[in-house]
Structure 1
Amino acid sequence: MGRAALASEQVGQVLVEGRRGRDRLEFTEYGAGEAWVVLLPPLLVPRSVHDHAARTLAAAGLHVLVLDPLGHGGSDRPADPLSYSITAFAEQVVALLDAVGAARAVVGGSSLGANVALEVAVRAPERVAGLLLDGPVLDNALTAQLAVLGPAMYAARFAPLPLSLLRLASRPVPSRLLPAWLRLARETLDQRPGTVAAVIHGVLFGRLAPTPAEREAITARTLVLSRPRDPFHPAGDAEQLAREIPGAVLERAEMPLEWRRRPERLDLVVARFARECSRGSLRARRTRSS
C-alpha cells in the first residue's frame, strides 16, 4: 500500500475522572463512519507514532481514534504514580468510546499499548470488535523492559537534570522542519521528569497484563504481530499470546520494526483485519436491532 489517501483529521479531548478530579485526555480522530478503530502508543511515546497507520486505516474506510493515555503526549500529566496503570489506561479507552458514541471498536496498540488493548478486552469485552496486538509485553520481555524502565524511573526521580536538559534542547527547531522520525523523537523527549517517574512507577508496580486464564477466555477476533530480533518485544511473547487466545492469528514481521520502516505489507494485513472485524460487528448490531 502506498501513501495513504487524505482523510479528515481533527484533534479532540475527553475528560475522565481521576484521583485528583477530572483529567483531560487528547486524541486525534481520522476518517468517519461506524467502523471504529482505537490505537494506543507504547509507554511514554506520543500518539503521533501511529499517524501513518491511522491515516492508512482511515483511507481504507475506517473511523480511527488515536489516544494519548494520561501522562502521554498532549494529555494531562500528573506526577502521581497512583494515577497510572495498565488498568487505568484501559478504563480511559472505554471512556473515549463512550465520549464519541462508539458501541464497539477494534482496539489495538504497540508494546505496552497492546497490553492496554488486552485489558480492555478483559474488562469490557462487549466494547471490543477485534484486537490488534503489536509486540505485546509478557514474561519473555520483562528482563529487557525492566533493564530500561527501572534506570529511567530512578534517573527521572533522583537525577532529573539530564532529562530536563534534553527536553529544553529539543525545542528550538520547528517541528515542520524535521522528518517524521525526528519529530517523534522530539515529542517523546518532551517529558517532565516527575511525570516520567510517576508513569513508570505506576505501570511497573501494577498489573502489566491479564492473567493467562483471562487471556484464554477472550473471544474477540485477534491479530498478533510478532517482531523478530527485538529483545524488548520477543517473538516468544507474541507466539504465546496467539496460542492462548482462541482463534488468534499470528503475523510475523519480516524485519525488526517492519511496521514502522517498511509498512506497506503490514498495512494491508492490518487494514484487511480491521475491515473484517468491523463488518462482522456492524452485521451483528443490525441483526440485534431488526
Structure 2
Amino acid sequence: MLVSERIGQFFVESDYGRDRLEYTEYGSGDAWVVLLHGQLMPRRMHQPLARALAAEGLHVVTLDLLGHGRSDRPADPLVYSMTDWAEQVVALLDHLGAPQAVVGGTSLGANVSLEVAVLAPDRVRGLIVEMPVLNNAVEAGILAFAPLMFAARFLPFTVTALRLLTRPVPRGFVPFWAGIALDTLDQRPGSVAAVVHGIFFGRVAPSSRQRRAIQAPALVVGHPADPIHPAADAAMLAGEMPRATFVRARSILEWRVAPERLNRAAAEFALGCWKSPRRARRVGG
C-alpha cells in the first residue's frame, strides 16, 4: 500500500538561539505516531517502520532531533540534553496540531520518548521503546562514545575526513542500511562533540521512580547480545512501568533485516493505543 510522504520543518526557540528542525510525515489522520532515531543517526533510519505503520492507517512522523540529520547542528553542548530533545518533540506535536501521539524510538530515541512521557504525560498516548539505555549500559556507553567525543574535540580532522569520504556516495546506489551508515558518518566535529558531551554530562534517562509513575501503555523491545543496549535494561524498564509489555527481539538485527514480526507488534500496539479511550488529563488540586 502506497502512503503519502511529506517533508516539513519548524523552529524552536531557546536561551541560546533559534534552531530549525526537519521531519517527514507518512500517511494522514488523527492517530499520530512519532518515531525518534538513535544517537547521531538520521530520521531516515525509521523510514521502513514509518511506511509499515502508515500502511495500517496511522499518521507517522519521523523527526531529526537537534544535532542530527537535516536539522540544525549547533556546536554548543548546552543545547543538548534529554529534556531539551523531549521539549522538541512536544513542540513538534504543537506544530502539527496533534493533541496526543504514540511516541517511540531507538536507543537515544527510546530515552527521549521516556522523557516526553515524564515531561508531558497528557500528550503521550503510548510508548514504543526499543533498546533503552539505562543502568546496565553505562560502562559500555562510555567505552563506545568517549573516544568519539575525544576525537571530535581534539582530532577534528578525523571526523571531517570521514565526512568528506562518505558524503559524495550516492545514497540511491547503495543498500538502504548502508546509506543509513553513510548518513551517520556525515558529521561535523563541533556538533558531534557537543551532542556526546550533552548526553554524558546530563541525565541519561528519567529516574526509576519517574519511570514507575508513567501511566501510558508501553511496548518495550530488548535485544540479546547487545552490550550498549542490554536486554536487561529493557526487561527492567518493562517491569517498572505498570502498563508495559516486553518483547525480546530474536537478534540485534531482527528489526532491521527481518522486520515483519516486530513491525506487526508495533502496529498492533499503536492501533490499540488509539482504539482505547482517551485518558483523562489529571488536574492538580
- TM over 0.5: same fold? yes
SS at structure 2 position matched to 1:233 = coil
What corresponds to 2:257 in structure 1? 261
In the other structure, the counterpart of 2:271 is 275
Instruction: Provide the residue aligned with 1:166 in structure 2.
Output: 162
**Residue 219 of structure 2 corresponds to which residue in structure 1?**
223
**Could you say if the C-alpha distance between residues 273 and 151 of structure 1 is closer, same or farther in structure 2, counting changes exceeding 3 Å?**
same
> Counterpart of 2:98 in structure 1: which amino acid?
A
Q: Secondary structure at the match of 2:276?
A: helix
Report what 2:75 is aligned to: 79
For 2:279 and 2:199, the matched residues in 1 are separated by 35
Counterpart among 9, 27, 39 of residue 43 in structure 1: 39
Residue of 111, 132, 138 corresponding to 2:107: 111
Q: How does 1:1-290 map to 2 (within 5 A)?
A: 5-280=1-276
Deviation at 1:163, TM superposition (A): 1.1
Deviation at 1:284, TM superposition (A): 5.8
Cα 1:155–1:250 shift into 2, 3 Å:
same
In 2: Cα distance, 1:173 partner to 1:119 partner: 36
Report the number of matched residues. Answer: 280
- Following superposition, the deviation at residue 6 of structure 1 comes to 1.5
What is the deviation of 1:112?
A: 1.6
Measure, in 2, the Cα distance between the counterparts of 1:253 and 1:97.
30
Distance, in Å, in 2 between the alignment partners of 1:101 and 1:170 is 37
Q: Structure 1 residue runs of 4+, over 3 Å off?
A: none
Distance in structure 2 (CA, Å) of the matches to 1:74 and 1:58: 22
Q: RMSD across aligned C-alpha pairs, in angstroms? A: 1.1
Deviations 1:158-182 (A, max 9, x none): 0011111110011222221111011
Structure 1 residue 133, shift from structure 2 partner: 0.3
Measure the CA separation in 1 of the matches of 2:201 and 2:130. Answer: 23
1 CA distance for matches of 2:169 and 2:215? 47
Would the alpha carbon gap of residues 215 and 284 (structure 1) be closer, same or farther in structure 2, given more than 3 Å must change? closer
> Any conservation in 2 of the 1:90–1:116 contact (CA below 8 Å)?
yes
Structure 2 CA distance, aligned partners of 1:241 and 1:272? 20
Gaps of 5+ in 1: 286-290
Tell me the CA shift for residue 136 of structure 1.
0.3
- Contact persistence 1:35–1:279 (CA under 8 A): no
Give the Cα–Cα distance (whole angstroms) in 2 for the partners of residues 284 and 77 of structure 1.
Answer: 36
Instruction: Give the CA deviation at 1:20.
Output: 2.8
Gaps of at least 5 residues in structure 2 are 281-285
TM-score when scaled to structure 2?
A: 0.96
Secondary structure at 1:130 match in 2: strand
1:25 match: secondary structure = strand
In the alignment, the residues of structure 2 paired with residue 275 and residue 36 of structure 1 have an alpha-carbon distance, to the nearest angstrom, of: 10
More divergent stretch after superposition (238-247 vs 252-261): 252-261
Query: How far apart are the structure 1 equivalents of 2:38 and 2:264?
Result: 22
Aligned residue number for residue 283 of structure 2: none
